Structure 1
Amino acid sequence: MNVTKEIEMYKFLGLETGRLPAALFIVSAIAFGLPGNCLSLYILLFRMDRQSTYVIFVSFLAMFDVLTCAVHMPLELIDLVFPFSIPEWLCKCFRFNNSLLYMGSLATLLVIAVVRYRHIVHPLKQKLSHAKARQCCWAVFVLSILTAAPAFVLNGNHTATIGNSTATICYIADTAQKTIYPTVYLTFYGMFYCLSVVILCLTYVVIVKTIRKANIARRQMQRHVSTCLNTISQPLSTAINPKLEKMFSDTDTNQPKLNEKSIGGSGKSSKNGKTKVLLLITIIFILAYLPYVSIGVVLTLQRNFKSSLSTTQEAIYRVAIRFPLINHVANPVIYGFCDPNFKKHLKALFLNSK
């Protein structure tokens, strides 16, 4: 390698191409995401009720998050900082892993949305058993492998032009560049995302509307019961016999009292809390992957898109295509703040360790 080529490659890796912000972004995601997801997975698997379908699906989702932080993010950092040092087999594994985690996470969210829809909108229907929930997780995993397999085939050594020189990087392989298959696969990627977003949005809109109607009906029932209790408790009967008032006051005060809080119970709030957690996870996933999928569509339609970017635009581009990493960092935060049961076990874990 001559001196000129070394200088050009140094510039290619340096600040001139906006790689430093993206590298710092990945390192931060690993630093926050890996401990948080490992802790979340431990609590879900060993502290919470593993017979709950909610815990089964969220644990499965947390496994994808742990794999992303422990395997994919370090590979992403290597590809960013040392793009000329990646062997082809590692490049193929890296791209395959990326597609697998994307497909698996999105498919899991779809299954969760359908299960929550049945549970909330059609509560009288037979609920999904624990065995069926685990079977759904295995089906998602196998389907994710099948849909990610083309990424292993299509990606590999790609010859990139750097100034007056060329180098080999990890991208769509030269053998696949002039075929229609990369376009077809990326189109499938984008369509799967768009279709999933539509299904998720429609499903959760119906779920939220159903919960709101149930809450309104429950509040009306609580007010009605409260009014009835107040009417009954008025000492109207003392007008007939004053001794009756003392009789009522001498009754056993330890008897359970019917009040508005006892109407509806805590089951509804627990169900709504779980739905809130899953809804937030879904929203963050959609927003985090939106820039990634949009850029993928642009690159499919305009192959020379990156060559026209300025240094600042290049930095934004490199961060935007890695923006989905935020999704895997945010999930433990959502569990900790929005799931009361998870929060209870988290506090108990730290209190017992002292």
Structure 2
Amino acid sequence: MPKLISSSEPQKTIGFVAGGIGDQLYHFTQLEHLAQTGVAGKLDLVCMHNRPMRELASGCAWIGDVIDAQPFRHLARPAAFLTACKSLKERGYYRAVIFHRSTSFKLAARLAGIPLRIGLSSGGIDNLLLNAPVALSGGGGRRQRWGHRPFIAALDQYFAPSGLSYLGPSPIQASPVQQAEVQARFGEFPRPWTIVNLFVGDALRRWPPAHAQQMIRTCYDRFGGTVFLNTGPDALDWHDQLASLWSGPPQAFVHLLPDEAPIPFMIALYHQADLYLGVDSFTANLALNCDLPAVILFNKASDSLTYRGRSYPLAPAADKPLDSLTEDDFQTVFSHFDKDRQT
């Protein structure tokens, strides 16, 4: 099997990811590890949701160019697909790693003439397109850390011999300018700072505002500090409901609207905050990739993610909704968080 890391010189590298923004964030520690053996300690990244991904990349010195994945996703548009493959070939990559089950990504790497093609494989055609297939069934004991994406552990296992670690510095860093902006706006606000998010695209995973208000108030009553409601453009109506229900001191609740808190600013806030409390979402994965301790609500226990940092998953009993979680359930995970932050 071809080696991941060359013993001679850095390898010009490209990674392929896909899915929602949070799904792509799953791979950032793996990607950063891969970039360490790339030219100038960087890799280029083919991904979806390019605008927010470019903003996230501003906190990742190890990401070079961000390339739109769309042309590589649609074999039904062969002209666009082949043009995109030609563009990759002209860039002269030596190594491609496909962090997704997509066969079209593997075909693109092959047609682009990339000599070393590593990627998740379900067998069959995938094995023909890759020269270093990584079986989806791999990963051993780490599979349980990846919730509904257990096959990601197979890549952990593949990278382990070359030193992959989830204990090092967070893969997304805050710029000094944004850190200073956070301090200028909120430096005098009481601690701890708790970042909250109720909304996610999947309606079954959203946190009902009335129940959320009660449990966030429980958190506030226990720890005090300041609650920051992190609102994306699609969450405005849902989060407005929470804001209208808030029963704590008005000065303890900060509603950050999208135009007030672009992603680079939120990266800096997440690095300076003390706790994330909210649903399994892009924001939850941003918290994990900024090493912010996170109480994450999952609509079923089997989806729980604990792949990085201090993660405290919380899920209702089988076939029960999120608002069936009790105050005692929350107090239990708050106790775990409180104990960890004092050690």
Which of the five TM-score ranges fits, normalised by the shorter chain?
A: under 0.3
Q: Which structure shows the higher helix fraction?
A: 1
Structure 2 length as normaliser, TM-score? Answer: 0.24
Q: Which structure shows the higher strand fraction?
A: 2
Question: Which structure is higher in RCO with an 8 Å CA cutoff and minimum separation 6?
Answer: 1
Structure 1 length as normaliser, TM-score? Answer: 0.23
